[in-house]
A and B are shown apart, each in its own frame.
Chain A
């Protein structure tokens, strides 16, 4: 088993929390992992990315080679596209649909969405709205994790345990909020996939 994940977003959106949960879950599954992060100057409103690699064999490179990512998880629709050269042919893009517009020349959403039409495997959902509806507006990144969870090759139960570990310090209430966000994201994601049955068969969605 080997899953190469690219996490994308804008500094401050919380991609590193997603990475931390997946990382914890992988470690508890006895898997090998490497996760490379962006720190420092690039955090301030700029584009951020993390390469996360999970495998049952030792992982060599800290960076994912071009054309070989199984999935791009993005908290911002334009940011996901920035990493497309890393995506493998039948890889998945799971992205938030809501743009983060902090640059004057942000493209028209219609144009951004057009490019998604050319991608065979994608899940596009408004994780911020879903989180808001749950009364958990600060957990939109965990909604995103839920939506992406079928593609990670890690048991759902282990991901839940990862959430417990990462948020445990902040108290039971925050843990439960995030678990709820995770489940809701997972359901929302699966609903979208079910309308896209053709691709379901091509990919191993067990987990």
Chain B
């Protein structure tokens, strides 16, 4: 078949469709968003009626995916790394119940935090849940891992965690696709209750089964075509120090290693793209070498496993001993340095070059909200603004400098409550509509139950803006949702955030701060990006 140019994300999506996918359940999050978007735009997916609508958050997504798998169908659930924290309850317990129809969970990690608040490495989750993991080094592998991964998942009876990084997700390359398979038929096995009712009596049995499966998972890794042992081509593998070096390269790190040895490796190399770790090949590498260099993009997961806590056994180099920087994304230059080779630059960045941070779009409603809020808060001695994850986080930067916190999805509401409980006044939460329905609604109920003295501003742009304008679960219903949760109608206010409404908006914020109970203000105006896009589509 002819090669097609795919982003890593697109290769995953196409592979899932080709493998007989029946549904994708996800919440948008960079760098995972394009997987679900690709399926939403796919003609085949539409024709087959593959479910692809966005979910309210990663937990609802993963649980719904499990429901589809329970019914015998093949399913995909995609999230950014921190999204798996939200879905962790479901994730850990799916490892206990196992699956029925094949299930692939994609975690898109973001080393260097290109657009995230941490760079957690979710291979830790894979080990934690004791399930098999894939980590592709290129787009073709990503395709093949998903395409074959469904068979693998169904054969083992467990979900597969596919771990990619930003670079893999957002890098494009030629991919050969394979024959399209039909979807699975509806089929719930007779013993499903013993597996899916995780009462302690059943769960204990299920855990024993999971433990007993570990050898099978290791064997699969040892036999995997994605894990490869390379013997060096040059006869003298001794490094300058006279020590025989062996190299482990996980996932995309393998590319950076290869880049530095265009004519073939000079050391034994073990490429790892399937976990749990392939014991046989690892043993061979350790037996053949005096020292192991571990290259992995993210946390020193393999390095730690290999080294052990006291590090008295195998000599391991990597992110823990400073051979590689402990944090941040890998690249060919960092790997080059770790290999003791020289990195050369001929030109420096001239001093005239200034930082160009991202900014809220001109005409964005969040701008109007912050301008009015800043004005009002000047009247108070020690106001604090607790914000959240979304475009409006950019309110932290000049010219606004309007927010004091941004921690995790939904934390604006709950942190503001805790701060108010402690005596902070005024305590203001700023959250977007999509983040509110993702994780703010439950916190709001806590605030309602105590009528906490705080103002929650739900800056509603009727979309999930920061990830590119995906549908937001509560569009058109934010006001009703707040009312339903129990916000007092007199302190549930609406406004259109426009310059002409500044004075009204300021008065509203001031009044609600002074109320000394719970208030919710919903400034609502569509995101100018989605508005422009819709106008363009309508013109066509």
Contact = CB atoms under 8 A, between A and B. Distances in A.
A107 interface: yes
Contact of A47 (B168, B332, B347, B356): B356
Interface string A82-93: 101111110000
A46 B252 CA distance: 26
B467 A78 contact: no
Contacts of B346: 67, 87-89
B252 A41 contact: no
B114 A40 contact: yes
Contacts of B172: 23, 33-37
Contacts of A86: 345
Chain A's interface size range is 35 or more
Given A40-B114, A45-B361, A66-B333, A32 B174 contact: yes
Nearest to A79: B356
Nearest to A86: B345
Contacts of B259: 60-61, 65
Contact of A61 (B30, B256, B350, B357): B256
B171 interface: yes
Contacts, number: 146
A200 interface: no
B433 to A, nearest CB: 18
A39 B170 contact: yes
B466 interface: yes
B171 A34 contact: yes
A62 interface: yes
B325 interface: no
Contacts of A105: 354
Nearest to A104: B398
Contacts of B354: 78, 103, 105-107
Contact of A46 (B3, B30, B359): B359
13 contacts: A27-B3, A37-B170, A39-B31, A40-B33, A40-B115, A41-B30, A44-B391, A44-B394, A59-B173, A62-B252, A62-B255, A63-B331, A84-B350
Given A40-B31, A103-B356, A103-B357, 16 more contacts: A23-B172, A27-B174, A33-B172, A36-B171, A40-B30, A44-B360, A45-B358, A60-B258, A66-B345, A67-B345, A78-B353, A78-B354, A84-B350, A85-B345, A89-B346, A103-B355
Interface of A: 10-11, 23-24, 27, 32-47, 59-67, 78-79, 81-82, 84-89, 102-108, 111-112, 115, 119
Interface of B: 3, 5, 7, 30-31, 33-34, 114-115, 167-168, 170-174, 252, 255-256, 258-259, 262, 331-333, 336, 343-350, 352-361, 391, 394, 398, 466-468
